[in-house]
Amino acid sequence: MLKVFARYFAAGLLSAGASLAAAQGWPAKPVTIVVPFPPGGTTDVLARAVANKLSPALGQPVVVENKPGAGATLGAALVAKAPADGHTLLMGAVHHTIAQSVFKKLSYNFETDFAPITTVALVPNVLVVSAKTPYASAQDLVAAAKGRAGKMFYGSNGNGTAQHMIGTQFQQITGTQITHVPYKGSAPLTTDLLGGQVDLSFDTVTPVLPFIKEGRLRPLAVTTAKRSSTLPDVPTLQEAGIPGIAIGTWFGLLAPAGTPRDVVTKLNNEIVKIIQSADFKKQMFDIGAEPVGDKPEEMARQIKEESAKFAGLVKSANITLD
């Protein structure tokens, strides 16, 4: 028994030593943050905001690579298969907790194949239409949709994303039929929304905020339980007479599972410092985001709880994709 204990104790020491050695030699090369959407969307904006400040803190370049496709699951799959050495990270989002249930075949498990680092920010989603439309309220939009069953279109950042889920719930609650048009990200979606190719979207505040300020897009309601601090005059869906939806979009950094604990801890410490800095908070306010900066364990718990919650919503809406 003593020999067995000694063997396991020695193995533990070797593992701890390897982890410490990995952390002391890390980063040995540039760190890459994979964004599973095209440039210009909230995920991309947040990743670059963190990368710009993380690079000098680590003493190595921190680069952002956009790998869009398949409802943000393509980029996630690439990171899940990357070496677990702390040099490849994912800017994940609430979309990935939904994708767990929506896609029948995923090459990774979001709960077990990633090591959470920290949630960077929470960004409210907003029901928005072109300012050229006559809709002045969410109820105006609902009335129009009921009169044009299946002939109105809403865009999302892809199948299985938060926008897709919100749009599905919106139809269930309001008794409307609005055709879903999935895009690879916010930039092409917003272009088509402005051009009238789609009638509405439930995108995050960040990519549509400049157009709201310019008066080209009209916000009708936010989808979170409380109003956005950046759009304080815009009601929640609950206040607009459409109860039952309280979904926002969180964004956070993750590493491949098996990344040395000391590396994850160092990343968490450095990124949380960035998130808590006054200039970063100001930058977040300007784009409609609310900075978070939690511990890896807290982010892991959030992922587990939301994966279970969205599994129920996906099942009730009967949404499945190959």
Phi, psi of 261 (to 5 degrees): -55, -40
Q: How far apart are CA 137 and CA 128, in angstroms?
A: 10
With a cut of 90, say whether residue 277 has pLDDT above it: yes
pLDDT value for 264: 98
* Residues forming a β-bridge with 90: 34, 254
CATH level 3 topology of 18-121+251-317:
D-Maltodextrin-Binding Protein; domain 2 (3.40.190)
Amino acid at 216: R
Which of the four pLDDT bands, split at 50, 70 and 90, describes residue 316? confident
The helix (H) or strand (E) run that includes residue 62 is strand 62-66
pLDDT value for 159: 84
Give me Rg for the CA atoms of the chain.
Answer: 21
Percent of the chain with pLDDT over 70: 92
Mean pLDDT to the nearest integer, 214-230? 96
Cis geometry, peptide bond prior to residue 68 (ω within 30 degrees of 0): no
pLDDT value for 3: 52
pLDDT value for 244: 93
Amino acid at 164: H
Distances (CA, A) of 68 to 58, 192, 215: 27, 18, 29
Phi, psi of 319 (to 5 degrees): -100, 120
pLDDT digits (tens, 9 = 90+) for 4-59: 444 544 545 444 444 444 556 899 999 999 999 999 889 999 999 999 999 999 99
Given this chain, do its domains 18-121+251-317 and 124-222 carry the same CATH topology? yes
pTM of the model: 0.84
pLDDT digits (tens, 9 = 90+) for 284-299: 999 999 999 999 999 9
- At the top level of CATH, the class of 124-222 is alpha beta
Give the residue carrying structure tokens 């990743």.
Answer: 47
Tokens of 102: 């929506």
The answer to whether 176 touches 142, Cβ cutoff 8 Å, is: yes
With a cut of 90, say whether residue 155 has pLDDT above it: yes
Which ranges of the chain would DSSP assign to H, the alpha helix?
2-24, 42-58, 73-80, 94-102, 138-147, 162-174, 186-195, 205-214, 261-276, 278-286, 296-317
pLDDT value for 322: 65
Kindly compute the dihedral angle of the four CA atoms of residues 270, 271, 272, 273, in this order, to the nearest 10 degrees: 50
pLDDT value for 4: 46
Mean pLDDT to the nearest integer, 93-115? 93
157 contacts: CB under 8 Å, gap ≥ 6: 37, 41, 71, 72, 95, 163, 164, 182, 183, 184, 185, 186, 189, 203
Tokens of 103: 């896609």
The helix (H) or strand (E) run that includes residue 218 is strand 217-222
With a cut of 80, say whether residue 160 has pLDDT above it: yes
Segments making up each domain of the chain, as ranges: 18-121+251-317, 124-222
pLDDT digits (tens, 9 = 90+) for 131-142: 999 999 999 999
